[in-house]
Homo-oligomer: A and B are copies of this chain.
Amino acid sequence: VADDALHKVAVLGAAGYAGALCAELVHGHPQLELTLATARSDAGVRLNEIHPRYRCAIELTGYDADIVAASAEVALVAYPHGAAMPVVAELVERGVKVVDLSADFRLDRARYEDYYQPHEAASLLPEAVYGLTEHARAEIAGSRLVANPGCYPTAALLALIPLRDQIADVVVDAKSGVSGAGRAANDKTHFVSVVENFQPYGVERHRHRAELEENLHPDTPVTFTPHLLPLDQGLLASCYVTTREPIGRDALRELFEATYADEPFVRVVGAPPGVRDVRDRNECHIHATVEQGGSRVLVFSAIDNLWKGAAGQAVQNLNLMLGLPETAGLVDAHV
């Protein structure tokens, strides 16, 4: 690819785990050029000083909407929710396409304000596309604003959408590694708090439940509980589905295999997946079965929370928005 044919990309919030992986993936992508990477408190530092394993040595800078607009055709925004929305609005207004990794554009206004806070850029909500790639390709390709799904909803929805019309009731018991909690150092992310430990959190009402509700049928009851795993990258969603009609194990597997037969990044596997199988991969491994002597459908879905659960899917969406092959920079990613 000639250099002047490269698409220019900015990554905002590139010091955090997801943002840094976005930058690293763009850096290694054959058809993209990383022109700018910002970080609020690490300006002046090189990316691979913070993340020594990465090859990308770009110097982090502060954020300025005009500079981003002058430097980049697309921006990957890896800000916390709430902080993302004004920035996304500024960029879209300046003609920059955006993949937003925060929650700010994933939900309709009422649900967002119920689960999060007042929305400051609600006029953009109608055009924002929920970027669960495998189930929204056409909309993503034509959009200028993609809301990248949360890590838990990515795993859970890939497991549940094939059954969407048949779900009478579902329990999602989900488990994630610590990188999902971000780079903020606190009591909960301290090594001694996490190692040899395992704990539920956000019970009763975790915000990611909102994404499940919004993407399943409106009246489907969803129970969702996340747990913190003593590992760095990896997420497993164990989904327990009561179906409206009984479904046999063979029919179930055929349904999943048919749904995902041609997907480059979803593999239907013959045994329950381990999160280690997808580490540092933009992949989702799914296993669906029916309980013996019972009627409950079990679906297990494993991803790397930083890849298919965040930065990998963001680049997958960006590829679609730019008309590039969906797998570009991902199948051969050497992070």
Partner-B contacts on A (CB < 8 A): 17, 52-53, 169, 171, 173, 175, 178-179, 183, 185-187, 189-201, 203-205, 221, 223, 225, 227, 229-234, 236, 238, 240, 242, 272-281, 287, 289-294, 296, 298, 300, 331-334
Q: Which 10 A-B residue pairings sit nearest by Cβ, starting from the closest?
A: A199-B274, A197-B276, A173-B173, A205-B292, A200-B272, A52-B277, A185-B185, A191-B194, A178-B191, A334-B334
Q: What's the nearest-Cβ distance from chain B to residue A99, in Å?
A: 22
Could you list 4 further interchain pairs (A-B, Cβ under 8 angstroms) beyond the known A169-B242, A185-B187, A192-B232? A53-B277, A189-B190, A203-B287, A223-B291
**Residue from B185, B203, B233, B287 in contact with A298 in the complex, judged by beta carbons closer than 8 Å:** B203
User: How many identical subunits does the complex contain?
Assistant: 4
Q: What's the nearest-Cβ distance from chain B to residue A291, in Å?
A: 6
Chain B neighbourhood of A234, CB < 8 A: 196-198
B53 in contact with A279 (CB, 8 Å): yes
Majority SS at the chain A contact face: loop
Chain B neighbourhood of A186, CB < 8 A: 185
Chain B neighbourhood of A195, CB < 8 A: 178, 191, 195-196, 230-232
**Residue from B173, B190, B200, B331 in contact with A183 in the complex, judged by beta carbons closer than 8 Å:** B190
Chain B neighbourhood of A201, CB < 8 A: 272
Chain B neighbourhood of A274, CB < 8 A: 52, 197-199
